[in-house]
Structures are given as C-alpha cells and as structure tokens.
A and B are shown apart, each in its own frame.
Chain A
Amino acid sequence: MIFAKNLFNTMQVSKICQLLDAKIICGEEHAQANIERGYSSDLMSDVLTLDTDHLLLITGMCNLQTIRTSEMADIRFIVFVRNKKVTDEMLELARENNLCLLESPFTLFKASGILYQAGLKPVY
C-alpha cells in the first residue's frame, strides 16, 4: 500500500518503528507503506480541521475517539507515544477500519523531533 504520490522524501512504516522503538499493534500488513507527512497533536478538535489525507498521526491521546477521529479524517496510521497502550475496544475498531496502529515509549516531543529530523514532512 502506497499513500504518497511519489516515493521521494517519504518514510516507510517499518522505518518509523525502528526510529521510534515502536511496535505495530495492528495492521502489520502495512509495514512497507510509505508516508509523506506527520502531524502531532493530543487535540482531536485540531486533527479534524486538517485537509491533508493519509498522514501519520503522532499522539498521546489514547482512547476510542482517537480511532473514530482518524476514521473520519481518513488517517490510516497512528503512533501512540508516552507508552500509552491501545485497548481491545480500540483495536477492534481500528481493524474494522483497516488502520495501522503503533506504540512508542518516547514522548510526543522526542518522537516528533526524530521523525522530522529523519525527513518526515510536516502538514504545515
């Protein structure tokens, strides 16, 4: 699955896992997908205002509404930071919507900084 228009300046999900010491919790089949942009926020109200599709959401907001928000905003990839653990209810909804969820022990600041430095583009 390729979510970027061109493969230059994109980052594979597997590379993101490596950089963030992250595990894929669901959607392992998307490990080779390429992502162009990232957006870091704990505020779902802000995520819902984005016009960019198919980005990586980096968040510490770990609840069912994070999955719902991503479903509505056409976001297919989420990294939960600060060691937040995905619940069974979240997993079920994520699988239903073919989302790829990652868990990282890093802070939102550290995860965002590492991905930005490695070339993942911001939304704005």
Chain B
Amino acid sequence: MKLEFNIEGGNFSRAGHASSEVKKMLKQLGIDARCIKSIVIALYEGEVNVVAHAYEGRILVQMEPHKITTEIMDKGPGIPDIELAMQEGYSTASKEVREMGFGAGMGLANMKKNTDELTIESTVGQGTTVKMVNYF
C-alpha cells in the first residue's frame, strides 16, 4: 500500500495533516499503539521541518507486512552539516517557528530515536531527502 502527500513550506496550519492521515491508516490496520506513536512522531517532526525550513515537499509512505518506509523529500536550502544538525539543541529555525513551539533543535534526534533506520541526504541550495524505516 502506498500513500503520497504534498507539503507546503511555511503553512503551519496544514503542518501535521499528512502525519494525521498516516496515523488513522495505521490504526485501521490494527498496528500496536506504541509502534504507531513512534512512526507518526518521526513523520510529524519531519513534516514540521519541511514546513519550517523548505519551500515545498512530498511525503511517500509505503506499507509492507511488518515494515513501513516513509520518505520526506523537500525543495529547500538543504542541510550543510548533517552531523551538526543531528545534535540535540542545534537549530537554525526562525523566530516564527520558535514562537510555534518548535525549533529547539530536537527534531532530527527525535526522528532517529523513533525509527529503526534513518537516512538523510541533502544538497545545499536544492533540498533534503529523509528516509525512515520502522519494523513492527
């Protein structure tokens, strides 16, 4: 089963819409609640990152028996130093993003905590692709 969503950069009122739809689908499939929480928290962190930093993005979700793969691809400024961005507390978020309660530099580290496999590829000036795999 495959799902696809578009994300609009800067539109905070829509941030979380895709994660919410994925959560509903996982619930319908009867997947363990704790596992659902990990998957959707990682996805939501990623979705908020696209809204906060990029111009636009796309989410692809692929469900297989006992495995879910989510890919978040954006067109945006990219991440110059991924290792530095992974460190808790490091953030380049704007004042506006911080006023929404985000931008504390916890997002990427929390995505890693909530996924079994996390791959981040980024090209400065073009965009970032995050691939997450969870097994259940």
Residues of chain A touching chain B, judged by Cβ–Cβ distance below 8 Å, are: 42-46, 48-49, 53, 61, 63-66, 68-69, 71-74, 89
Residues of chain B touching chain A, judged by Cβ–Cβ distance below 8 Å, are: 12-13, 15-16, 19-20, 23, 33, 37, 40-41, 44-45, 48, 100-107, 110, 113
Interface of A is mostly: helix
Report how far A98 CA is from B20 CA in the complex, Å.
13
Query: In the complex the two chains form, is A48's CB within 8 Å of B44's CB?
Result: yes
Query: In the complex the two chains form, is A64's CB within 8 Å of B101's CB?
Result: no
**Cβ–Cβ < 8 Å partners of A49 in chain B:** 106, 110, 113
Query: In the complex the two chains form, is B106's CB within 8 Å of A68's CB?
Result: no
Q: How many cross-chain pairs have Cβ atoms below 8 Å apart between A and B?
A: 65
Residue of B nearest to A67 (CB): B16
**Cβ–Cβ < 8 Å partners of B113 in chain A:** 49
Report how far A63 CA is from B98 CA in the complex, Å.
12
Report how far A112 CA is from B103 CA in the complex, Å.
24
Report the minimal beta-carbon distance from A52 to chain B, rounded to whole angstroms. 11
- Given contact pairs A49-B113, A63-B101, A64-B13, A72 touches B106 in the complex (Cβ within 8 A): no
**Cβ–Cβ < 8 Å partners of A71 in chain B:** 16, 20, 23
Query: In the complex the two chains form, is B12's CB within 8 Å of A48's CB?
Result: no
